[in-house]
């Protein structure tokens, strides 16, 4: 956290100025609060010396801090990053290092090297030097025609299906191609490049076909008559793993040559066929895509296989989604563990087991328990004969005694017998209903006068009932 970044920038510039590195770059990390009016002059001088400057602002407290870091990166010809999270700073440094080191321009005099014979070089007489190009990476299935001393592509072609494209990594305005544009037939080179991207004309140039079947690739080439009766036809094959091989094509019919090669790997194959004869050559390129095996390329629904599979499993094919919910499945029997239920039963029986082993119950205890249970049973009320209350009996006795004083003795006896008959009639009716009177009861003598009282009559009736 210095007061100014000027001394640090000048020290870094002096360290880089004395090196022979192709790329010289400074990354300044700070919070931006070190203000200095000399930043613009110092950073522009560093930039003029061939050193670029990028800045990473972190933990800035205000807008002026961020503007300071942005200004330094702008004057230094670099990039500005804001890293509020300290964990992202290493990633920013790696990203900036890759960006700076990946300079796309490669300058210097070199002679392009021809890797494959292509119709694009048909009319070129000698390879002129180039002075620079843009570094690129070739596609795996692309055909590199011209490369640099670092094997970077300078002229490359790519064919996919019926389409073609060409990449020329140098320029066409004379910056790096001043000698190339002055070479003989240089104008024909550009015409051949454009013509290669257009559909081939049948009958005048070599035409190429490619196919694959059962792990074998087949190449067919139609040779124009201008190459003579017995041309030499060779194909360069580049597989998806970038392994190159050569295949010699043999005549199968007049003007038609064929050859084959193994296609052990799935992917795109690059094919370049060159035919030489009668003092000149013809070349053509094509691509071949080898897909997955045939069993993976089957389209449609194999109902025959599904039907056999459903029969083997005892089911059926469901052609409608609503059939999924039909209750037509057979019951399935399976074992189920009873451990949990047995543990629950043991838990319920545990108190009973403890009670039986700890409590001593004798026979007398069982009888007492049984007697207590019987006493708790509800008592059924029995029907008893209607007996007049004692107060009512006394009232009738008093009335009879008062009445007997004014009537003769014979009438009193008759009244007493009637009174006794009235009070004893319900009991007699009950006895008659229960069982008929015995002869001894019928012959029993009438009570004497001294027992004609109410209490006496009741006792006499009780004795007769017994």
Tens digit of pLDDT at every position of the chain (466 positions): 788 898 899 999 999 988 887 788 999 998 888 888 888 999 999 988 889 999 998 888 888 888 888 999 999 888 899 888 888 888 888 888 877 766 667 888 999 998 877 888 888 878 889 999 887 878 777 888 999 988 889 999 887 666 788 999 998 888 889 898 888 888 888 888 888 887 655 445 788 889 888 889 999 998 888 888 788 999 999 998 888 999 999 998 888 899 999 988 888 999 999 998 877 788 888 889 888 766 666 667 788 888 899 889 888 888 888 888 877 777 778 888 899 999 999 999 998 888 888 877 788 888 888 888 887 666 555 545 555 556 676 777 777 777 666 555 555 555 455 544 544 444 444 444 444 555 444 444 454 444 446 777 778 777 777 6
The full DSSP string for 424-453 is HHHHHHHHHHHSPPPHHHHTPPPPPGGG-S
d(CA 448, CA 335): 95
Beta-bridged to residue 260, according to DSSP, are 218
Phi then psi for residue 224, to 5 deg, are -70, 155
What pLDDT, on a 0 to 100 scale, did the predictor assign at position 156?
92
What pLDDT, on a 0 to 100 scale, did the predictor assign at position 234?
94
Which residue matches tokens 């008093």?
Answer: 398
Question: Which of 58, 51, 67 lies closest to 90 in space, CA to CA?
Answer: 58
Task: State the virtual CA torsion across 126, 131, 136, 137 in degrees, nearest 10.
Answer: 50
Cβ pair 86, 108 in contact under 8 A: no
d(CA 350, CA 381): 44
Cβ pair 449, 414 in contact under 8 A: no
In which element (H, E) is residue 156 found?
Answer: strand 153-160
- C-alpha neighbours within 13 Å on the C-beta side of residue 218: 9
Q: Is the pTM of this model over 0.75?
A: no
**DSSP label at 463?**
H
Q: How far apart, in Å, are the Cα atoms of 441 and each of 4, 448, 463?
A: 149, 16, 10
Give the number of other CB atoms < 10 A from CB of residue 436. 9
Which residue matches tokens 């205890």?
Answer: 365
Question: Which of 205, 235, 231, 230 lies closest to 220 in space, CA to CA?
Answer: 235
What pLDDT, on a 0 to 100 scale, did the predictor assign at position 88?
86
What pLDDT, on a 0 to 100 scale, did the predictor assign at position 451?
43
Cβ pair 27, 96 in contact under 8 A: yes
Joined together, the tokens standing for residue 53 give 């400057």
What pLDDT, on a 0 to 100 scale, did the predictor assign at position 378?
61
What pLDDT, on a 0 to 100 scale, did the predictor assign at position 278?
77
Spatial neighbors of 133 by CB under 8 A, at least 6 apart, are 106, 148, 152, 154, 169, 170, 176
Alpha helices in 198-338 (DSSP H): 303-312
Cβ pair 232, 246 in contact under 8 A: no
d(CA 58, CA 86): 8
Question: Which of 466, 462, 460, 432 lies closest to 448 in space, CA to CA?
Answer: 460
Q: How many residues does the chain have?
A: 466
């Amino acid at each position: 956290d210095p007061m100014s970044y000027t001394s640090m920038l000048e020290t870094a510039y002096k360290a880089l100025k004395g090196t022979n590195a192709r790329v010289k770059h400074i990354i300044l990390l700070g919070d931006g609060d070190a203000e200095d009016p000399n930043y613009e002059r110092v950073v522009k001088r560093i930039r003029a010396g061939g050193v670029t400057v990028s800045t990473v602002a972190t933990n800035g407290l205000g807008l002026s801090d961020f503007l300071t870091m942005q200004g330094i990166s702008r004057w230094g010809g670099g990039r500005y990053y804001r890293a509020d999270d300290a964990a992202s700073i290493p990633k920013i440094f790696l990203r900036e290092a890759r960006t700076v080191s990946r300079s796309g321009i490669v300058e210097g005099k070199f002679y392009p090297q021809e890797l494959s014979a292509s119709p694009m070089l048909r009319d070129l007489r000698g390879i002129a030097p180039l002075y620079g190009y843009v570094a690129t990476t070739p596609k795996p299935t692309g055909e590199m025609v011209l490369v640099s001393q670092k094997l970077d592509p300078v002229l490359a072609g790519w064919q996919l299906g019926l389409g073609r494209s060409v990449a020329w990594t140098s320029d066409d305005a004379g910056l790096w191609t001043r000698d190339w544009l002055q070479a003989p037939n240089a104008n024909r080179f550009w015409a051949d490049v454009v013509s290669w991207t257009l559909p081939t004309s049948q009958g005048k140039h070599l035409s190429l076909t490619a196919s694959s079947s059962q792990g074998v690739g087949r190449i067919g080439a139609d040779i124009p008559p201008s190459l003579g009766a017995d041309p030499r036809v060779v194909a360069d094959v580049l597989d998806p793993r970038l392994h190159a091989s050569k295949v010699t094509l043999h005549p199968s019919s007049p003007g038609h040559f064929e050859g084959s090669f193994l296609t052990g790997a799935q992917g795109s194959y690059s094919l370049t066929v060159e035919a030489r004869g009668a003092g000149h050559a013809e070349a053509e390129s094509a691509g071949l895509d080898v897909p997955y095996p045939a069993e993976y390329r089957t389209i449609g629904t194999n109902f025959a296989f599904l039907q056999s599979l459903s029969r083997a499993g005892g089911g059926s094919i469901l052609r409608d989604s609503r059939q999924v919910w039909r209750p037509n499945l057979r019951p399935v029997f399976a074992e189920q563990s009873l451990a949990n239920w047995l543990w629950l039963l043991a838990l319920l029986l545990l108190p009973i087991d403890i009670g039986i082993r700890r409590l001593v119950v004798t026979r007398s205890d069982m009888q007492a328990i049984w007697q207590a249970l019987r006493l708790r049973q509800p008592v059924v009320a029995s029907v008893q004969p209607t007996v007049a209350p004692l107060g009512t009996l006394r009232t009738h006795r008093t009335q009879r005694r008062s009445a007997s004083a004014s009537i003769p003795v014979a009438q009193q006896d008759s009244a007493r017998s009637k009174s006794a008959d009235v009070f004893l009639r319900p009991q007699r009716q009950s006895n008659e209903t229960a069982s008929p009177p015995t002869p001894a009861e019928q012959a029993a003598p009438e009570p004497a006068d001294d027992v004609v009282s109410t209490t006496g009559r009741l006792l006499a009736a009780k004795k007769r009932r017994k």
